[in-house]
Chain A
Amino acid sequence: MNWGGVTFRTKGTGGRVGGTIFGLFFCLIPLVIICVLLYGVRQSLATRFWTETPCRILESCVEVVPITVEKPETYAFRARYSYEFGGKSRVAETVRHGYEPSENRADTLALAGRFKEGTAATCWVNPASCDEAVLLHEGLGKPALLLLVTLFPMLFIAIGVFVIIASWRADRPQPISSKAAGKPWVMLAFFAIFFLFGAGFLWVMLAHEALDYVRSSSWIATPCEIVDSRVLHSSGKNGGTWKVGVVYRYEFGGGVHCCNRYALWSAYSSGYDGKKAVVDRLKPGSKATCRVNPSDPDEALLVRELGWEALIALQPLTFAAIGFFGMRWAWRQMRSKKAGKGAPTGTGLSERHEPTGAPATLKPETSGIVKVLGSIGLAVFWNGIVSVFLFEVIREWHEGHSPWGLTLFLVPFVVIGLVFIGAVFYYMMALFNPRVHLEVSAKEVTLGGTVDVAWEIIGSASRLRRLDICVEGREQGTAQSGKSSVTETSVFERIVLASVEDPAGAREGRAQFVVPPESMHTFKADHAKIAWHIVVKGDVPWWPDVKDEYELTVLPYDPKEVLHEHAQA
């Protein structure tokens, strides 16, 4: 295809069919999920489209379902009502679709008060099935939530549709300049989803307990008697999980109350023995002390501590944190793009930046502490994940199985984990190295400019066998290669400032260098970099060597001077 003198490539049939199948596959599962969700929405809203009909309440009552170690006391509103529909008198008992007994006694009693026996009321009748009727509609919260959830599969459908469209569209070469407009808002949306899911789960898992922890600080310690106790079991793949189940009775405000809440955090978790010990202590008939909510004496708990199990609820915090910092990064990217619009300079300087001529003490690009903390973080992260599988393998060997496949598969991962642990010790040892204090006449210098450098060895210089200080100009390119990115570095300039054979005898020194005038200034883009460094290398026998780098900024010539020289020439 030819368009404006530009030849467009078109994809082959194989590519188009492959892309379409891939796109359809991407759309299919989310589409099914959306259908299920929309069906749920329709079901929740269905009664709102039924026929409003007068009715009479024949019977109504509140049933109390007694407390057990597994379930709290609940209250169920029951009603029978009659109505005329299709020329016939009919009787129904449905209060609301999906109605479940509630722990909230006040709300249930309010319902009973609203639909008193013998009173006239309104019900909604299904015109397609006249015997089906309800007294109340379902709330709008559920359908709203379901509609909100449909946004997530829609994201995948959008990707699938994009893939299909892209596979059928001709490959029209875009202007290079159009690639400058990055899409940080896509990243912003991506991290926002991460944040919302993390924060949502964090709220669901932790907020209730955290709020109760604060609320219960003012609850009143009250003697109670244990009515029932047992270890509750939830079956699972690895033998299941357990929690303490208990019912206790106490007197408060002139009445007798029962409660089955043991602690703030009441999820099932591993560790049977701990729960069994608690249950053994809380034998039926034994005395204990619970904390009672004075404003609602039916609410109480035996143990107010959150417990270490509550830490599990912090897992979503990782997602929320990644989302938060990712959003912050994307937001900054968007702002910097906006600020830099119309400034076609890649030095990071949209206007002429004059070099600061002030002397400065240089700090290493990565301090020893940062290296230690970074290596600890990496070692903990890697080994934390590997240990989950490692413990599983050890357990299987312990139980007499021979999981050779998984064991051999894990070996390289364990070796890498050990290397990471070794790196922690390496960087910790390097913290005790002598340090080199560097001072320069200017941290920023124009091409062709002169820089004075003064150095001093801090700490035990006698441990150094040799010290080399040089200036390096490096170009660095990062390219995507398959699923990973490869960064190559090439040194284009190396200026030796000092080579000291006996550092103990020359603890300090000075040097001067000129930035080559026909070289390249500092340049930083996403995948390409031109950088200038002062590199300090110290040879320490039988110990990690000293290797620190200090960045210098080399600026382009002042355009005014360049133009002046051109005019003179």
Chain B
Amino acid sequence: MSTLKLETEGRRAAFAPGEELRGVALWELDREPKSVEVRCFWHTSGSCDEDVGEPRVVAFDAPGSIDRRTFAFLLPEGPYSLQGKLVHISWSLELVVNSGRVSERLDFVLSPTGEAVVLSEAPKEDA
């Protein structure tokens, strides 16, 4: 039985562009893993096929089977977290063990306001 956990500093769920996201990754595995890394990336959902941004990666050296490591990412200017009518953009951290055999995800919001941008349909032209 394996346990994976990701936590951001102060359990924050929203960050501003350009801010440093700090956190801690904890895991308890049955055997010593070959690799453990935390990935930070955006991905889309909604009425579109999923797109995933190239992740930024923090890889941990010599991970133990039971371990606790800290990590930090300097967040980019965008894209902002979005709740559109068709497109949703989400930001996530993922703790990945052995190139994806086991993983854990933690979502967060990236935006200047601390909330995802919400887009609704504009009134029709004739209206």
Shortest Cβ gap from B90 to chain A (Å) = 9
Complex Cα gap A175–B29 (Å) = 17
Interchain residue pairs A-B with the least CB separation, the first 5: A559-B18, A477-B48, A4-B2, A525-B51, A4-B102
B66 contacts the other chain (Cβ, under 8 Å)?
no
Q: Which residue of A lies closest to B85 (CB)?
A: A490
A480 contacts the other chain (Cβ, under 8 Å)?
yes
Residues in A whose Cβ lies below 8 Å from that of B11? none
Known: A180-B53, A527-B48. 11 other contacts (CB 8 A): A4-B3, A4-B29, A179-B50, A342-B57, A345-B53, A491-B122, A526-B49, A527-B44, A556-B79, A559-B77, A562-B18
One of B16, B54, B77, B87 near A530 (C-beta < 8 A): B87
* Interface residues as binary, B62-88 with A (CB distance below 8 Å gives 1, 0 otherwise): 000000000000011111101011110
Shortest Cβ gap from A146 to chain B (Å) = 39
A563 contacts the other chain (Cβ, under 8 Å)?
yes
One of A349, A518, A528 near B44 (C-beta < 8 A): A528
B94 touches A177 (CB 8 A): yes
Complex Cα gap A356–B112 (Å) = 22
A175 touches B94 (CB 8 A): yes
Q: Which residue of B lies closest to A563 (CB)?
A: B18
B55 touches A344 (CB 8 A): yes
Number of cross-chain contacts by CB at 8 Å? 197
Query: 22 pairs across A/B with beta carbons < 8 Å?
Result: A4-B2, A4-B4, A6-B102, A177-B92, A180-B53, A180-B54, A181-B54, A340-B54, A342-B56, A345-B78, A346-B53, A477-B46, A492-B122, A493-B119, A494-B123, A520-B117, A520-B119, A521-B78, A528-B48, A556-B80, A559-B77, A562-B16
Residues in A whose Cβ lies below 8 Å from that of B80? 520-521, 556
- Taking Cβ atoms with an 8 Å cutoff, the residues of B that contact A are 1-4, 16-19, 29, 39-44, 46-57, 75-80, 82, 84-87, 89, 92, 94, 96-97, 99-103, 105, 112-113, 117, 119-123, 125
Complex Cα gap A560–B49 (Å) = 33
B119 touches A179 (CB 8 A): no
Complex Cα gap A175–B40 (Å) = 12
Complex Cα gap A342–B120 (Å) = 32
Knowing A490-B84, A562-B18, the reply to whether A176 touches B94 (Cβ < 8 A) is: yes
Complex Cα gap A346–B53 (Å) = 6
B119 touches A492 (CB 8 A): yes
A488 contacts the other chain (Cβ, under 8 Å)?
yes
A343 touches B54 (CB 8 A): yes
One of A176, A347, A475, A489 near B79 (C-beta < 8 A): A347
Residues in A whose Cβ lies below 8 Å from that of B103? 6, 174-175
Complex Cα gap A555–B121 (Å) = 21
A392 contacts the other chain (Cβ, under 8 Å)?
no
Complex Cα gap A520–B120 (Å) = 11
Q: Which residue of A lies closest to B115 (CB)?
A: A518
Shortest Cβ gap from B51 to chain A (Å) = 4
* Interface residues as binary, A207-235 with B (CB distance below 8 Å gives 1, 0 otherwise): 00000000000000000000000000000
A5 contacts the other chain (Cβ, under 8 Å)?
yes
Most chain B CB within a 10 A radius of its CB, from A174, A175, A566: A175
Residues in B whose Cβ lies below 8 Å from that of A475? 84-87, 119
A178 touches B100 (CB 8 A): yes
A518 touches B113 (CB 8 A): yes
What is the size, in residues, of chain A's interface with B at 8 Å between Cβ atoms? 61
- Taking Cβ atoms with an 8 Å cutoff, the residues of A that contact B are 3-6, 172, 174-181, 337, 340-347, 349-350, 352, 472-473, 475-480, 488-494, 518-521, 523, 525-530, 555-560, 562-563, 565-566
B77 touches A347 (CB 8 A): yes
Residues in A whose Cβ lies below 8 Å from that of B42? 344-346
A523 touches B56 (CB 8 A): no
One of B41, B51, B102, B125 near A344 (C-beta < 8 A): B41
Residues in A whose Cβ lies below 8 Å from that of B94? 175-177
B44 touches A525 (CB 8 A): yes
Complex Cα gap A438–B97 (Å) = 54
Shortest Cβ gap from B6 to chain A (Å) = 12
Residues in A whose Cβ lies below 8 Å from that of B121? 490-492
Shortest Cβ gap from A521 to chain B (Å) = 6
Complex Cα gap A337–B51 (Å) = 14
Knowing A479-B48, A557-B77, A563-B16, the reply to whether A176 touches B92 (Cβ < 8 A) is: yes
Shortest Cβ gap from A204 to chain B (Å) = 41
Shortest Cβ gap from B8 to chain A (Å) = 16
Most chain A CB within a 10 A radius of its CB, from B2, B46, B47, B94: B47
Residues in A whose Cβ lies below 8 Å from that of B112? 557, 562, 565
Complex Cα gap A174–B55 (Å) = 14
Complex Cα gap A6–B4 (Å) = 10
Complex Cα gap A475–B86 (Å) = 7
Complex Cα gap A172–B99 (Å) = 13
A345 touches B102 (CB 8 A): no
Complex Cα gap A238–B77 (Å) = 66
Complex Cα gap A149–B86 (Å) = 47
Knowing A480-B49, A559-B77, A563-B19, the reply to whether A523 touches B85 (Cβ < 8 A) is: no
Complex Cα gap A559–B78 (Å) = 9
Residues in B whose Cβ lies below 8 Å from that of A555? 77
Q: Which residue of B lies closest to A350 (CB)?
A: B76
Complex Cα gap A494–B124 (Å) = 9
Knowing A176-B105, A493-B122, the reply to whether A344 touches B53 (Cβ < 8 A) is: yes
Residues in B whose Cβ lies below 8 Å from that of A174? 100, 103
Residues in A whose Cβ lies below 8 Å from that of B100? 174-175, 178
One of B50, B105, B119 near A519 (C-beta < 8 A): B119
B55 touches A180 (CB 8 A): yes
Shortest Cβ gap from B103 to chain A (Å) = 4
A523 touches B78 (CB 8 A): yes
Complex Cα gap A525–B90 (Å) = 13
Complex Cα gap A472–B92 (Å) = 30
Complex Cα gap A560–B29 (Å) = 40
Shortest Cβ gap from A527 to chain B (Å) = 4
Complex Cα gap A347–B78 (Å) = 7
Complex Cα gap A342–B17 (Å) = 16
Shortest Cβ gap from B59 to chain A (Å) = 12
A559 touches B16 (CB 8 A): yes
Complex Cα gap A177–B99 (Å) = 10
Residues in A whose Cβ lies below 8 Å from that of B51? 346, 525-528
Complex Cα gap A130–B102 (Å) = 65
Most chain A CB within a 10 A radius of its CB, from B55, B100, B113: B55
